[in-house]
């Protein structure tokens, strides 16, 4: 695999909540500049951490239910899930080093 997975309202439970590995979910939109800046970094992380984490992307314009369920008010918002529970939230674009640090914390705990 090693690529970011595009998930939807319908598939969110299966792709994220029922995942057997931690999941980093990127809530984004096509028109969002910072979202476009962070996207290639997330694709790199999906490859580098293949098998350890899953990276999922949720287009907030197309998947409003899941966005409302998690009270997404700003994008990009990155949510980390482990064992079906949200364990961490980052709002805005962050450098790769920060994301690596957060991922290490989630998979290490």
* Cβ atoms of 56 and 25 closer than 8 Å: yes
Q: Is 75 exposed, middle or buried (0-12, 13-18, 19+ CB in 10 A)?
A: buried
pTM for the model stands at 0.95
* Residue 108: per-residue pLDDT: 86
* Residue 3: per-residue pLDDT: 78
* Residue 109: per-residue pLDDT: 58
Q: Residue 85 corresponds to which tokens in the numbers above?
A: 């529970």
Nearest residue to 77 (alpha-carbon basis) of 47, 48, 38: 38
Domains and CATH numbers, the chain: 5-108 (3.40.30.10)
Q: pLDDT tens digits for the chain (109 residues)?
A: 467 899 999 999 999 999 999 999 999 999 999 999 999 999 999 999 999 999 999 999 999 999 999 999 999 999 999 999 999 999 999 999 999 999 999 998 5
Catalytic residues: 32, 35
Nearest residue to 29 (alpha-carbon basis) of 94, 89, 90, 74: 74
């Amino acid at each position: 695999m090693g690529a970011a997975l595009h998930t939807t309202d319908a598939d969110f439970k299966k792709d994220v909540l029922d995942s057997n590995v931690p999941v980093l979910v990127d809530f984004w939109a096509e028109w969002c500049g910072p979202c476009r800046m962070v996207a290639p970094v997330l694709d790199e992380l999906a490859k580098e951490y293949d098998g350890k984490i899953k990276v999922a992307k949720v287009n907030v314009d197309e998947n409003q239910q899941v966005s409302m369920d998690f009270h997404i008010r700003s994008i990009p918002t990155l949510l980390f899930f482990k064992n079906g529970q949200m364990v961490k939230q980052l709002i805005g674009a962050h450098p790769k080093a920060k994301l690596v640090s957060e991922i290490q914390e989630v998979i290490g705990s």
